Amino acid sequence: MANPLFDRLFGIHAGKATPFLHLPDGEIVTHQDFLGRAAQIANVFAQTGLEPGDRVAAQVEKSPEALALYAACVQAGLIFLPLNTAYTADELTYFIENSGASVVVCDGRREATLAPIAKRLGAAVETLNGDGSGTLMDQAAAMPVAFATVERKGDDLAAFLYTSGTTGRSKGAMLTQDNLLSNAETLVREWRFTDSDVLLHALPIFHTHGLFVASNVTLAAGGSMIFLPKFDVDVVLEKLPQATTMMGVPTFYTRLLGDDRFTRELAEPMRLFISGSAPLLAETHVQFEQRTGHRILERYGMTETNMNTSNPYDGERRAGTVGFPLPGVELKITDAESGEVLPQGEIGQIEVRGPNVFKGYWQMPEKTAAELREDGFFITGDLGRIDEDGYVHIVGRNKDLIISGGYNIYPKEIELVLDEQPGVLESAVIGVPHPDFGETVLGIVVPVSGQSPDLEAMMVAVQQSLARFKHPRKLILLDELPRNTMGKVQKNILRERYKDMFVG
């Protein structure tokens, strides 16, 4: 095949006037329309001189054109780099610089801020607004609706997805064509997706979940998606009767359960509800079944690995577990010190290997070596165990990570900003339970002796440099942080102390 990812996900739909995207206003984008738009965008990039392997950074609202931008990059052999729309200019500067992006596609409202940054870093800027307008589609409109697909091999890079790290510096996870395609094909089979499926898509498309799991699976199966700009409970309830499947983070399911209009009658005709990106509480799983008769299918994945495990489609979907390793994925539980496999049933670090596992972090060989073993096993940073029936349980994390509403937040990034503020000696940022987001961010600040730092000014500083979802929901002053004998901050003690701050 000339370009396996493009051919298998997109090319197979060439010339089909079948629905691909159902938009909120009732408009339908057919496969043919979609591929035409993608080809036009690919032509724009080819004409501006982009070469296979160049990076295209995109911080754009969810729209059919934004998804076509992804397809265009695959078709033109470019590396797609989607970015959270909440990222600030500071955050974007790092991603553009680190990736060496040749083009930055952004919303028109951000152009004035981003243009000088991009110029300094040698990247061109195009705009793409949520309604599909902007310089990118203006140029695309004049282009042919066909494009000679650029040849690629399975091992070639298709996307960079940045993930934050424990040191506060984000790392670009390099995903190959094979990583994405193998996972999509496995999930289509495991979850029984077909061309009659209509997926209710309310996730963002700048992460693995909404972009690769939801969209690639739909494309590989030849189905369609109800393509909503975001999760809005009113719209989701209205559109549910036209859907057969839905994928979401746990917050989607707790919000639906919190609404009386979400009845058994409404949900029962659905074929499948899938959850992932954050732990689904066993109690949510049980309540969902009581309300709807459906058992949510929970699966476990990561940016670096795509999907690793899934509860079974036909067998028992066990609450509080993430099911079994997917076909082709090896999963082992090891001792964090020795790396040895632990006896069955014991808790240890989860390691995975398979065609789904990424190639490494862009230009960070030491970080890659620290997490991706030479034998191909990736150390996920999650802690788990395998029960006597083979179900994988995630019991915690070996990495200092907060997951809020399905978004990952690394405390170090926030601590670095807090520590710089006047009158601050040090800080500790922790995740505490939250009824809507699962976990939320709490910042604990230790003042320099005799000083009383201004917490409001501190929040303003955080707002300037970090995306909204990373902002602490509260800042607390504390005289000193609990430490162990090695001098390490004992965040577990802080998490325990403040666990009821937002619940109960």
Residues at the site binding ligand MLC, with contacts judged by CB under 6 A = 203-204, 207-210, 230-231, 249, 251, 276-277, 301-303, 404-407, 437, 468-469
Exposure string (b/e) for 136-149, b if CB count within 10 Å is 16 or more? bbebbeebeeebeb
410 binds ligand AMP (CB under 6 A): no
Of residues 357 through 386, those in contact with ligand AMP by CB under 6 A are 380-382
Q: In this complex, which beta carbon is closest to ligand MLC, that of residue 124 or of residue 307?
A: 307
Selection from ligand MLC, ligand AMP, none that 322 binds (CB < 5 to 8 A by kind) is ligand AMP
Options 163, 224, 404, 421; binder of ligand AMP; rule CB under 6 A: 163
Who's near 175: CB < 8 A, 6+ residues apart?
157, 158, 159, 160, 161, 306, 358, 359
**Region from 54-62, 253-261, 301-309, 418-426 binding ligand AMP, contact rule CB under 6 A:** 301-309
394 binds ligand AMP (CB under 6 A): yes
CB of 301 to ligand AMP, least distance (A): 6
Q: In this complex, which beta carbon is closest to ligand AMP, that of residue 322 or of residue 481?
A: 322
Who's near 393: CB < 8 A, 6+ residues apart?
320, 321, 322, 384, 385, 386, 387
Q: In this complex, which beta carbon is closest to ligand MLC, that of residue 131 or of residue 436?
A: 436
301 binds ligand AMP (CB under 6 A): yes
CB of 173 to ligand AMP, least distance (A): 8
Amino acid in position 198: V
Query: What is the number of the residue whose Cβ is closest to ligand AMP?
Result: 303
Q: In this complex, which beta carbon is closest to ligand MLC, that of residue 223 or of residue 406?
A: 406
SS3 state of residue 409: strand
What character string, x for contact with ligand AMP (CB under 6 A) and - otherwise, covers 271-300?
A: -----xxxx------------------x-x
43 binds ligand AMP (CB under 6 A): no
SS3 state of residue 110: helix
Q: How far apart are CA 135 and CA 329, in angstroms?
A: 42
Q: In this complex, which beta carbon is closest to ligand MLC, that of residue 115 or of residue 459?
A: 459
* Residue 198, token pair as written in the block: 């209509």
Selection from ligand MLC, ligand AMP, none that 404 binds (CB < 5 to 8 A by kind) is ligand MLC
Contact 64, 132 (CB under 8 A): yes
412 binds ligand AMP (CB under 6 A): no
Task: Give 372's DSSP letter.
Answer: B
What character string, x for contact with ligand AMP (CB under 6 A) and - otherwise, covers 133-162?
A: ------------------------------
**Closest residue by Cα to residue 28 from 39, 17, 37:** 17
**Closest residue by Cα to residue 441 from 480, 414, 479:** 414
302 binds ligand AMP (CB under 6 A): yes
Q: In this complex, which beta carbon is closest to ligand AMP, that of residue 247 or of residue 322?
A: 322
CB of 299 to ligand MLC, least distance (A): 7
203 binds ligand AMP (CB under 6 A): no
Contact 358, 179 (CB under 8 A): yes
CB of 318 to ligand AMP, least distance (A): 12
Beta strand pairing call for 392-397 and 407-409:
unpaired
CB of 60 to ligand MLC, least distance (A): 15
Q: How far apart are CA 385 and CA 323, in angstroms?
A: 11
CB of 161 to ligand AMP, least distance (A): 8
Selection from ligand MLC, ligand AMP, none that 230 binds (CB < 5 to 8 A by kind) is ligand MLC
Q: How far apart are CA 256 and CA 131, in angstroms?
A: 27
∠ CA 91-360-209 to the nearest 5 degrees? 65
Contact 419, 458 (CB under 8 A): no
CB of 372 to ligand MLC, least distance (A): 17
**Closest residue by Cα to residue 273 from 235, 291, 396:** 291
Beta strand pairing call for 157-163 and 171-176:
antiparallel
The residues that bridge with 298 in the sheet, in sequence order, are 275
Beta strand pairing call for 360-361 and 124-127:
unpaired
CB of 334 to ligand AMP, least distance (A): 15
CB of 322 to ligand AMP, least distance (A): 5
* Residue 451, token pair as written in the block: 């000083």
- Phi and psi of 134, rounded to 5°? 125, 175
Contact 336, 350 (CB under 8 A): no
180 binds ligand AMP (CB under 6 A): no
**Closest residue by Cα to residue 241 from 220, 217, 211, 262:** 262
Contact 70, 177 (CB under 8 A): no
466 binds ligand AMP (CB under 6 A): no
Selection from ligand MLC, ligand AMP, none that 224 binds (CB < 5 to 8 A by kind) is none
Selection from ligand AMP, ligand MLC, none that 203 binds (CB < 5 to 8 A by kind) is ligand MLC
**Closest residue by Cα to residue 243 from 217, 219, 267:** 267
CB of 465 to ligand MLC, least distance (A): 16
Task: Give 483's DSSP letter.
Answer: B
Q: How far apart are CA 210 and CA 276, in angstroms?
A: 11
Number of chain residues interacting with ligand AMP (CB under 6 A):
19
Selection from ligand AMP, ligand MLC, none that 468 binds (CB < 5 to 8 A by kind) is ligand MLC
Residues contributing to the site for ligand AMP (CB under 6 A): 163, 208, 276-279, 298, 300-303, 322, 380-382, 394, 397, 403, 408
